[in-house]
């Protein structure tokens, strides 16, 4: 009987492991796809390849619900350690030592959608850099940048309505009307809206579009955080303008069939101080790389 040695073992692909860990931590293929900046179908193919490599089933799929098998739970610990060790090893040789503190701003919804992956990747390579995060509306963030309270910030802006100061567009996607699946809020007159506070580009885009077609509306619920808008939609009390990528069950997209006007694309823009130090420039580069990967995957 041939003896199995380590030289006969397959080599695990770290990108497959990264996707596997993302699914385990988010609980869904769709959410993991956003984290690793790939399409859901590409994520499914990666997991299939990993399962074939190990000859084990790693997940049990029941509709949209995903749970790990016993083998998947065993692999999770190894996967996390391998990814951490890889990042430590690579950063030891290819990344210069950088220290300091960087103050990063972002709109509230970016805090859960984009920042976790950006900050995790940055910290894995630049652990000596402290990052302070401020989540505020875009107008407030620009004011904080002018006051010297921030080093760089992400802001949201409607296409064609960019801030006068210099900034770099990193990503763009459509705004869409969103409501509860099976809900009737969109049928009410005047149309009840759940909007962010003044200064939010989504709010302005929605009001401009409704005014242009002369549709009556009322601002039924206001919140500085998108979770407040989601709460109103979950109760079927209002509809809201949301990025297309945020429209997931139990919500659905509302369109012309519901008598609603099209909304413009919105842009994610990076604005930074002109005198950023090495730590700030390195974080800015990571932010840009993350959004470039997201744009490539969509």
Q: Using 50, 70 and 90 to split pLDDT, how confident is the model at 163?
A: low
Q: List beta partners, residue 175.
A: 243
Q: Where are the domains of the chain?
A: 6-94
Q: Mean pLDDT over residues 81-105, rounded?
A: 82
CA 24 centroid distance within chain? 17
Q: Of 128, 108, 133, 96, nearest to 118 (Cα)?
A: 133
Res 89 pLDDT > 50:
yes
CATH 1.20.120.1200 corresponds to the domain 6-94: no
Q: Mean pLDDT over residues 61-73, rounded?
A: 84
Q: Mean pLDDT over residues 20-49, rounded?
A: 89
User: What gap in Å lies between CA 17 and CA 58, rounded to an integer?
Assistant: 11
Q: What was the pLDDT predicted at 65?
A: 75
Q: What was the pLDDT predicted at 180?
A: 96
User: What gap in Å lies between CA 213 and CA 208, rounded to an integer?
Assistant: 9
User: What gap in Å lies between CA 50 and CA 39, rounded to an integer?
Assistant: 17
Higher pLDDT, residue 58 or 88: 58
Res 6 pLDDT > 50:
yes
pLDDT per position as a tens digit, 164-190: 567 899 999 899 999 999 999 999 999
pLDDT above 90 coverage of the chain, percent = 54
Whole-model pTM: value is 0.71
């Amino acid at each position: 009987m041939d003896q199995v040695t380590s030289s006969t073992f397959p080599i695990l692909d770290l990108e497959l492991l990264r996707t596997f860990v993302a699914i385990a931590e988010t609980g869904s293929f769709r959410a993991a796809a956003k984290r690793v900046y790939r399409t859901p179908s590409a994520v499914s193919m990666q997991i299939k390849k990993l399962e074939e490599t190990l000859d084990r089933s790693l997940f049990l799929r029941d509709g949209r619900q995903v749970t790990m098998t016993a083998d998947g739970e065993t692999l999770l610990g190894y996967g996390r350690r391998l990814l951490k060790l890889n990042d430590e090893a690579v950063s030891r040789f290819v990344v210069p030592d950088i220290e300091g503190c960087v103050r990063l701003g972002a709109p509230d919804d970016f805090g859960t959608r984009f920042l976790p992956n950006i900050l995790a990747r940055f910290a894995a390579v630049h652990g000596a850099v402290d990052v302070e995060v401020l989540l505020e509306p875009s107008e407030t963030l620009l004011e904080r940048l002018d006051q010297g309270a921030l080093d760089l910030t992400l802001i949201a802006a409607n296409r064609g309505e960019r801030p006068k100061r210099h900034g770099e567009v990193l990503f763009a996607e459509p705004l869409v009307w969103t409501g509860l699946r099976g809900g009737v809020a969109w049928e009410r007159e005047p149309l009840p809206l759940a909007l962010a506070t003044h200064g939010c580009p989504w709010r302005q885009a929605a009001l401009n579009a409704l005014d242009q077609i002369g549709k009556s509306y009322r601002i039924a619920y206001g919140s500085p955080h998108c979770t407040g808008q989601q709460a109103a939609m979950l109760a079927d009390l209002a509809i809201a303008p949301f990025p297309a990528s945020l429209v997931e069950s139990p919500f659905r997209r509302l369109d012309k069939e519901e008598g609603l006007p099209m909304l413009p694309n919105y842009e994610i823009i990076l604005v930074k101080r002109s005198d950023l130090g090495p730590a700030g420039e390195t974080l800015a580069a990571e932010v840009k790389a993350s959004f470039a990967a997201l744009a490539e995957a969509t």
